[in-house]
């Protein structure tokens, strides 16, 4: 390595996701002696990245993947960037960077790669048969992308880890199970839960895959049962996702009196501090940060018994697990907590202890830096770049 400071290049879909999920790690890596550079798709948060002193590269990355010419444009831009920067460690985050960056890293013989599997995407959640061929194609791409000889694959839950192992591209020693991006507990003060009418909140991107429709149906059920509570919805639509909820529909639910819509909020700790119960009826996750944030705020959780969600709680101790895609089960879970404030408080306190012991950002950062060091050690032990790939 010609540079005395090893170059660590993050490639992430959008700058907002980098700031919300990887900024503390990037700051710690820079403090540890890495030259940290960031590549993302376009977005207003790019300015914030540059203001923090990071080199930022903008890529023509769109998350929808519906335009093949746009995909080729991104692939071309990414290979030019990798040739120019020549990172010592390439850290790929989110699906498209992992797939495209992983494949390019092999053909360009990048020295070391970290691939963060933070969820498998909409096509792995969908039950529609038309998505079967796409799933098979994506799995084939994953098999190629994760086949770099000097790679660490970071999974957030055991189900994703098992999927990666089944691909046959990596060994058990090359996979690290790291629980999400962590939380800085000092940013999530514990405040007393409201003692008036209970407040239930769902905070997520407004997608069908996040269980928003089931949440609305559960609210209708609870209203019919005469359950007294306020129901908040926090988040914004995501036009790049095929399961996005139309904002007009959200306003319609609001006008019907089903929900109070708070829009997109960055002060999530403040929002949870004003709530009693946090709900996430998602169909599948990597490890949802919102549930870790809820735990850090000492709030009881109702979530679905699916990969990622069930790994973010201790069922019966920090939250309640309900059946996926089942509004009645969701309504029952919410009602069980609304009717038992003592149980809510006990679960919240247990959640705070869980966040401190398992999900602290310091622990997550230490695990990442250790992975970087092992990859660099492997690089130094070999005088040659990785061999050119053989496709499966």
CATH number at 185-358: 3.40.50.2000
Q: At what angle do helices 341-358 and 289-296 cross, to 10 degrees?
A: 110
Task: Give the model's pLDDT for residue 133.
Answer: 77
Beta strands, E only, the chain: 7-12, 35-40, 55-58, 89-93, 113-117, 151-155, 175-177, 199-203, 230-234, 260-263, 277-280, 300-304, 319-322
CA gap 378, 382 in Å, rounded: 7
Task: Give the model's pLDDT for residue 65.
Answer: 65
Task: Give the model's pLDDT for residue 2.
Answer: 47
Name the nearest CA neighbour of 119 among 164, 72, 78: 164
Task: Give the model's pLDDT for residue 379.
Answer: 85
Asked if 19 and 9 touch (Cβ cutoff 8 Å), the reply is no
Q: Which two tokens stand for residue 205?
A: 């991107």
The residue extents of the domains of the chain are 7-182+360-381, 185-358
Q: What is the pLDDT along the chain (392 residues), one digit of tens a residue?
A: 445 899 999 999 999 999 999 999 999 999 999 999 999 999 999 999 999 999 999 999 986 666 888 899 999 999 999 999 999 999 999 999 999 999 999 999 999 999 999 866 555 555 565 556 777 888 899 999 999 999 999 999 999 999 999 999 999 999 999 988 999 999 999 999 999 999 999 999 999 999 999 999 999 999 999 999 999 999 999 998 889 999 999 999 999 999 999 999 999 999 999 999 999 999 999 999 999 999 999 999 999 999 999 999 999 999 999 999 999 999 999 999 999 999 999 999 999 999 999 999 999 999 999 999 999 999 877 655 666 666 55
Q: At what angle do helices 212-224 and 327-338 cross, to 10 degrees?
A: 60
Secondary structure letter of residue 246 according to DSSP: P
Domain 7-182+360-381 falls under CATH 3.30.70.141:
no
Give the dihedral sign, CA 236/240/242/246: positive
Model confidence, pTM: 0.91
Task: Give the model's pLDDT for residue 93.
Answer: 96
Give the dihedral sign, CA 251/255/259/264: positive
Task: Give the model's pLDDT for residue 137.
Answer: 85
Same-fold call for 7-182+360-381 versus 185-358: yes
Asked if 293 and 319 touch (Cβ cutoff 8 Å), the reply is no
């Amino acid at each position: 390595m010609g540079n005395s400071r090893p170059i660590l290049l993050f490639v992430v879909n959008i700058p907002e996701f980098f700031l919300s999920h990887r900024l503390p790690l990037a700051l710690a890596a820079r403090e540890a002696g890495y030259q940290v550079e960031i590549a993302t798709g376009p977005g207003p948060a790019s300015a914030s990245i540059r203001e923090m002193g990071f080199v930022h590269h903008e890529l023509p990355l769109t998350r929808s993947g519906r335009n093949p010419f746009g995909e080729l444009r991104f692939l071309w831009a990414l290979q030019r960037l990798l040739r120019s920067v020549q990172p010592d460690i390439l850290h790929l985050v989110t699906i498209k960077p992992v797939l495209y960056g992983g494949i390019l890293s092999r053909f360009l013989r990048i020295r070391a790669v970290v691939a963060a599997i933070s969820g498998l995407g909409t096509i792995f959640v969908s039950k529609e048969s038309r998505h079967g061929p796409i799933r098979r194609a994506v799995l084939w791409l994953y098999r190629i992308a994760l086949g770099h000889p000097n790679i660490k694959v970071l999974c957030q839950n055991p189900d994703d880890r098992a999927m990666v192992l089944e691909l046959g591209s990596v060994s058990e020693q090359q996979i690290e199970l790291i629980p999400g991006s962590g939380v800085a507990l000092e940013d999530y003060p514990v405040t007393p839960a409201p003692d008036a009418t209970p407040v239930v909140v769902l905070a997520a991107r407004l997608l069908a895959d996040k269980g928003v429709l089931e949440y609305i149906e559960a609210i209708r059920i609870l209203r019919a049962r005469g359950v007294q509570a306020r129901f908040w919805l926090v988040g914004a639509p995501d036009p790049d996702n095929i399961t996005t909820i139309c904002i007009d529909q959200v306003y319609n639910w609001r006008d019907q009196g089903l929900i109070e819509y708070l829009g997109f909020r960055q002060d999530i700790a403040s929002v949870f501090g004003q709530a009693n119960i946090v709900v996430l009826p998602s169909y599948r996750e990597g490890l949802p940060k919102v549930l870790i944030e809820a735990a850090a705020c000492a709030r009881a959780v109702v979530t679905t018994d699916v990969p990622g969600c069930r790994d973010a709680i201790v069922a019966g101790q920090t939250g309640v697990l309900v059946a996926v895609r089942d509004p009645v089960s969701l309504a029952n879970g919410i009602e069980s907590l609304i009717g038992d404030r003592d149980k809510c408080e006990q679960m919240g306190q247990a959640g705070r202890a869980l966040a401190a012991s398992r999900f602290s950002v310091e622990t997550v950062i230490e695990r990442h830096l250790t992975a970087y060091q092992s990859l660099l050690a492997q690089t130094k032990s070999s005088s040659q770049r990785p061999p050119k790939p053989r496709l499966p």
